[in-house]
Amino acid sequence: MIKIYKSYLSLGSNIGDRESNIAQAVTALGVYDEINNLESSSLYLTEPLYNLEQEYFINTVIGIETSLNPFTLLDTVKKIEIMLGRKIIKKKNMPRIIDIDILVHGDSIIETSELVIPHPFISQRKFVLIPFDEIAPDYKIPLLNLSIHELLVSCKDESSVRLHDMEHKA
């Protein structure tokens, strides 16, 4: 019997046609037979953290059901990022065409140099919590045993995160 995992991914872009970059990444994920029942939050316009000398990001969170194990999902995500033009050598907090992070993968708890699940900064980032709260407010994060909504309410991040208005692009 094939095990199916409920996973959530964070997607962000702040170079080029940000909306298209996100849409292409979501479409690419949907091509895989092992990824199903994809649901997406709205798009959010978010202030960059740390390196403020860059464009605002467009962010979303998507939920998927997948038979891929966490490391195979990571490989898949990396392939999609490269296909969309992301540089293999990446510096932290720099502009990017696409960034896809695995937030959670079923009840997996992983801590390796390559992959940490649940994502180590999930509770500190409104640009993740706000869209995640839109699609799964009651989802409890393994290890933390707190719901997304509880994490959002207690989040100290004060950066700007607002619904992206497609009519008036920022």
Catalytic residue annotation: 86, 96, 99, 101
Amino acid at 18: R
Task: Provide the token pair at 170.
Answer: 């920022």
The dihedrals phi and psi of 13, each to the nearest 5 degrees, come to: -150, 140
In whole angstroms, give the CA distance from residue 22 to residue 115: 22
In whole angstroms, give the CA distance from residue 42 to residue 40: 7
Q: Please, is 113 exposed, middle or buried when counting C-beta atoms within 10 Å of its C-beta (0-12, 13-18, 19+)?
A: exposed
Under a CB-based contact definition with an 8 Å cutoff, are residues 148 and 139 in contact? yes
Amino acid at 69: N
